Amino acid sequence: MRSQRLDPLLRIMQQRQDSVAREVADRERALGEQQERLDALRRYAEEYAAAPAEASISPALLVNRLAFRERLNAAVVQQAGIVDQSRQLSDVERARLMLASRETKVLEQLADSYRAQESKAAEQRVQREMDDLGGRRARLAAQSGDGAGS
């Protein structure tokens, strides 16, 4: 039967879809972690920038403070890039999942269609067999009736 021949392929497609779904979950988790790091960096940079500078700060300490703020801002920009890249990877995986899901659904529909056709053919075969059996019984009854009346 055609529907049974599709079963192994359908199982493979479902396994592939499950694998892609796990990858989507992993990417989403990684994106969340990267976003949390970015948020923490931004909060720290804001807090550090808002901290009052002491009026009697030496020029050397001021230079160090400004250099640290620069590095902190560079870290924020770098982390924002990582978040964007992570988001893009997540989007790609979501698109792969949608495609895998669509392919699996099409294959399931094809298998269902084959099963419906096979079921209809089996019902028609049973009906023909019943009709043939009824016809044979009618012929036997007619033959028995002809033989008894002579």
pLDDT recorded at residue 65: 87
pTM for the predicted model, two decimal places: 0.68
Domains of the chain: 2-131 (1.10.287)
Cβ neighbours of 86 (radius 10 Å): 19
Closest CA to 49 of 18, 28, 73: 73
pLDDT recorded at residue 148: 58
pLDDT recorded at residue 131: 92
C-beta of residue 42 within 8 angstroms of C-beta of residue 76? yes
The label of the residue with tokens 């499950």 reads 18
Alpha carbon distance, N-terminus to C-terminus of the chain: 52
Which segments of the chain have a pLDDT < 50?
none
